[in-house]
Amino acid sequence: MSISGTTRLYVVLGDPVTQVQSPGLLNPLFAKLDVDAVLVPVHAPAPDLERIVAGLQAIANLDGIFVTVPHKVAAAGLADRRSPMVEITGSANALRREPDGRWYAENFDGIGFVAGLVEAGHDPQARTVFLAGAGGAGSAIAAALLAAGAERLAVCDPDSAKLVALRARLDAHWPGRTSVSAEPDTAGAGIVVNATPLGLRPDDPLPFRPDELAPRSVVADIVMKPRETRLLREAAALGHRVHYGIHMLEGQLNAYRAFFGLG
């Protein structure tokens, strides 16, 4: 990959940012498509996010901003326009510069996660699903699971205000199919998902207990680094089927190509 004065710029914002996997997937894609562009990670501390995004948006050769934990909810409010998915979920993971110079927000986490599930043979249609985490990624995954036909969705998060707001947004589109709780309620779920940051650090507690799941459940984690989180290790040891975080990102690549017009 050669970087020159004509190279277009993309960034991925996070706090921390050492765990991001998108440069390792997007930069080879740019090279494969012969696109003169590069994606670089930017460590954006939460208190400085608005100032950092404003500065990035002023860079004339910057075409896109990818967003990871914990900025997805805040990023939705830093765009000039928002997609229907962003309005439903209240979060964004990609911002695109429009021809008029304004910034358009989209969220591909949910569709990428569901695409990865289906590709691995774990179609959520007509299934009962448990989801830990009602934050930016969790909200997007919740909407995508319901859009993909999940029969029942139980969402757990200690933030009751966040839970109530998410259920109201989901019920407006898929009425009566979502329940919420402050504590994990995995009863009856054949697919269970960790959409929290728990697992990024080795001393993190588990988001829910694998030993309380139905036999041979599908246990999915959106944490990408480490690939083998404690949750997935313990789930696999109990005989559950595990689904890795990288699948969510891989499932988004085609959507990113279309969104950014990469060919």
Contact partners, residue 82, CB within 8 Å, separation at least 6? 76, 92, 104, 105
- The pLDDT tens digits for 173-186 are 999 999 999 999 99
| Angle subtended by helix axes 136-147 and 109-119, to nearest 10 | 60
141-159 residue pLDDT tens: 999 999 999 999 999 999 9
Q: For the segment 112-144, what is each residue's pLDDT rounded down to a tens digit?
A: 999 999 999 999 999 999 999 999 999 999 999
CA-CA distance, 24 to 103, in Å (whole number)? 25
Closest C-alpha among 17, 18, 29, 12 to residue 253: 29
Give the pLDDT score at 144: 97
Please determine, for residue 223, whether its predicted confidence score (pLDDT) is greater than 80.
Answer: yes
Q: What percent of the chain has pLDDT over 70?
A: 100
Task: Determine the pLDDT at residue 2.
Answer: 87
CB atoms within 10 A of CB 262: 18
Whether 192 contacts 96, CB under 8 Å: no
Active-site residue, selected from the candidate residues 32, 72, 162, 225 = 72
Instruction: For residue range 238-257, list pLDDT tens digits in order.
Output: 999 999 999 999 999 989 99
pLDDT in tens, 3-24: 999 999 999 999 999 999 999 9
H helix runs in 185-245, sequence order: 230-237
Mean pLDDT of 37-41: 98
CA pair distance 193, 153, nearest whole angstrom: 11
Mean pLDDT of the chain: 96
Determine the pLDDT at residue 263. 75
Catalytic residue list contains 72: yes
| Alpha-carbon span 82 to 109, nearest angstrom | 15
